[in-house]
Structure 1
Amino acid sequence: MLATYVTPNKLALIDKVLSERTRHLTVVLEDIYHAQNASAVMRTCDCFGIQDLYITQRLHDYEVNPNVVRGASKWITLHKYERESMSTEKCFKDLRKKNYRIVGTTPSSEVASIHELDLTQKTAIVFGTELGGLTKYAREQVDELVHVPMYGFTESFNISVSAALILQEFVKRLKFSDIVWQLTEKEQEELKLEWFSRIVKRSDLHIKNYLKERSEKLEG
């Protein structure tokens, strides 16, 4: 119904983007407090077709920098957990219910490289703060740890750079695999309706009028 208020070019773009969207991979930001970094990761998720972004808040509130996000928040499904000590624990519990394998990131070269990670199962990639990395709880509870190979003196990448490198590697591998990584038709239709409601002005009024007209027709 809302599609009638969207231009043909926008409709075609939305269909194209939905065909490239995935929930086979998802990203978790654990207690990230730099708005610029958190926003950059959200933008990266949208660019690589990652639909869901999970945010845990233990000591810090999650904030978005609109100048960095550049509208990406309009297209991403954000799962934000309240600020409390068990924020990460609740997030991990929900991810496991959805059959995600939870993989933490670390600068340590003693763990597997991102090039070696098996992506057959749905995978949630967890990023910690630049200062402290993952919390002790997260390091102990993830199913595996991975690192991005580095060849210089610097100990680690900026979190937004790390997320971009990892997602580029994983998305590329998915697209050249036999893994079914695309959204289901139902998921695509649900997202399409959600996106329409965000870009169509007064979408709530259009939906209300549509439901009213439909009800009157059924009664008549």
Structure 2
Amino acid sequence: MTVKKILSPANEFLKKAAKLKQKKYRDEFGLFVTEGERSCREAAESGFVVDCIVMTERFFESHEGEFAGFNRIVTTNKLFMTLCDTKTPQGVLAVVKVPEERELTGNRYIYCDGIQDPGNAGTMIRSADAFGFSGVIFSAGSVDVFSPKVIRASMGSVFHIELKTLAGAEFLEQAKQGGYFITASALHGKSVDIHNMTVLKKQIFVIGNEGNGVSKEILKQSDEIVHIPMSGAAESLNAGVAASILMFEVSKHE
């Protein structure tokens, strides 16, 4: 694989890579950026297609043997900073191709119904990876799963599990027809304590929007509605925390 040095701010590749901080260009080019040595290594060892690894001159000098199996671009620290979303980058990032989406092939998934916060989204991806879930599904209107903040919050787990985006009520109906049991997490009159919830081999667990919860349409589609019992004064839990508690409870049934 090649090592190419780029020192000009007019370079077309660098200008293209800098645009990947914006969703419209991630969609247009089918690429996203992941920053940091650990995350780049996760990308390199995953099934994702790494377009190239970009390094500062200083990082390359001290890590010349790393990522040798990939095309590498070496540039100045100043130009490297134009590609970064973080304020104190480690001097290395990967430009990665957005994977093609497939039909569901796993057993258990989290479905994010209008989740807006990147931290919550990344936490759910990380917890799904930790608790053995097959993947995380994002509805239309949810945060972009390949945004820099979601990638960082997932701590590399974005490269380990299935991800699906722009899924709606029709998707869930098709999933039901495919044998998936739909469980929604919501404070509802007919909801079941999660300690008593139904846990099956093929199941999708729905977590609702931070402010509005699970949509009425999806609640009607759900086979079961569950809630997390709370003894304190808080009215609700952070969406990422609630999803993690739910996934931990499900993992106890293995």
TM over 0.5: yes
Matches within 5 A, 1:170-181: 170-173=250-253, 175=254
Q: How far does residue 120 in structure 1 lie from its aligned partner after superposition?
A: 3.3
In structure 2, what is the equivalent of residue 42 of structure 1? 125
Q: How far does residue 130 in structure 1 lie from its aligned partner after superposition?
A: 1.6
Q: Report the AA paired with residue 110 of structure 2.
A: V
Asked if structure 1 preserves the Cα contact closer than 8 Å seen for 2:115 and 2:142, the reply is yes
TM-score by length of 2: 0.54
Structure number with the bigger relative contact order (C-alpha 8 A, sep ≥ 6) is 1
Counterpart pick for 1:33 among 116, 119, 131: 116
Q: Which whole-Å deviations, capped at 9, do the CAs of 1:100-119 have from their partners, x for residues lacking one?
A: 01010013475211111121
Provide structure 2 residue ranges, at least 5 long, that are not aligned to the other structure.
Answer: 1-41, 47-104
In proportion to residue count, which structure has more strand? 2
Once superposed, which parts of structure 1, at least 4 consecutive aligned residues long, lie more than 6 Å away? none
> 1:69/1:136 Cα in 2 relative to 1: closer, same or farther (>3 Å)?
same
> 1:142/1:54 Cα in 2 relative to 1: closer, same or farther (>3 Å)?
same
Residue 24, structure 1, aligned to residue 104, structure 2: no
Q: Which whole-Å deviations, capped at 9, do the CAs of 1:117-165 have from their partners, x for residues lacking one?
A: 1213522100011200011111111111000110011111111111111
Partner secondary structure for residue 62 of structure 1: coil
Residue 76, structure 1, aligned to residue 161, structure 2: yes
> 1:111/1:150 Cα in 2 relative to 1: closer, same or farther (>3 Å)?
same
Residue 52, structure 1, aligned to residue 135, structure 2: yes
Q: How far does residue 97 in structure 1 lie from its aligned partner after superposition?
A: 3.4
Residue 128, structure 1, aligned to residue 208, structure 2: yes
CA RMSD, 1 decimal: 2.4
Q: Which whole-Å deviations, capped at 9, do the CAs of 1:142-196 have from their partners, x for residues lacking one?
A: 11100011001111111111111111111111x2xxxxxxxxxxxxxxxxxxxxx
In proportion to residue count, which structure has more helix? 1
Provide structure 1 residue ranges, at least 5 long, that are not aligned to the other structure.
Answer: 1-9, 15-21, 82-86, 176-220
TM-score by length of 1: 0.62
Counterpart pick for 2:186 among 106, 113, 117: 106
Asked if structure 1 preserves the Cα contact closer than 8 Å seen for 2:114 and 2:138, the reply is yes
In structure 2, what is the equivalent of residue 92 of structure 1? 172
**Percent identity between the aligned chains?**
24
In structure 2, what is the equivalent of residue 211 of structure 1? none
In structure 2, what is the equivalent of residue 166 of structure 1? 246
Counterpart pick for 1:141 among 218, 221, 234: 221
Asked if structure 2 preserves the Cα contact closer than 8 Å seen for 1:48 and 1:167, the reply is yes
Q: Report the AA paired with residue 69 of structure 1.
A: S
In structure 1, what is the equivalent of residue 96 of structure 2? none
Counterpart pick for 1:62 among 129, 141, 144: 144
Give the number of aligned pairs.
Answer: 150
Partner secondary structure for residue 27 of structure 1: strand
Q: How far does residue 62 in structure 1 lie from its aligned partner after superposition?
A: 2.5
Q: How far does residue 61 in structure 1 lie from its aligned partner after superposition?
A: 4.2
Q: Report the AA paired with residue 68 of structure 1.
A: A
